[in-house]
Amino acid sequence: MTVALRTLLNRSVKKMGKGMDQVVKESALEMVERAYNEGIYVQISAGHRSFEEQAVLYGQGRVYSYNGKDYSNLAKPKVTNAKPGQSYHNFGLAIDFFLVSDDGKNAIWTMNAKWQRVAAIGKEL
């Protein structure tokens, strides 16, 4: 059974969190819907991120403290070069997405032609 559009939209809204810029949020959901109409199943994996959440990500792969708290995590690889306050995610102006299997049960993190098409839709919006 094919994953329902409503399921992808609901999951995406939840993952974007509160604090998203309304235009960015609406555009992201439009991107999910347009991709769905082309047979590409995608959902948003991240949206608004607090400064503390950004500190956790920035601390991966390096020694880092923020506001007196240690966020160092050398056991994981670096995933961002943006410190808290330097990421558009911190202001609700960015999203991340991934492809989803036809049944909606598995994330597909491959950057293939379908992923590139979704990115193109996002840029159009």
Q: What are the extents of the domains in the chain?
A: 1-48+92-125, 49-91
What pLDDT, in 10s, does the model give residues 76-125? 999 999 999 999 999 999 999 999 999 999 999 999 999 999 999 999 99
What's the whole-model pTM score? Answer: 0.90
* pLDDT at residue 41, rounded to an integer: 98
Residue 19 CB contacts under 8 Å (≥ 6 apart), including other chains: 47, 48, 50, 92
CATH (residue range 1-48+92-125): 3.30.1380.10
* pLDDT at residue 125, rounded to an integer: 95
* pLDDT at residue 113, rounded to an integer: 97
Tokens 């390096």, located at residue:
62
**Apex 125 CA angle, 41 and 24, nearest 5:** 85
Phi, psi of 46 (to 5 degrees): -160, 150
What pLDDT, in 10s, does the model give residues 43-77? 999 999 999 999 999 999 999 999 999 999 999 99
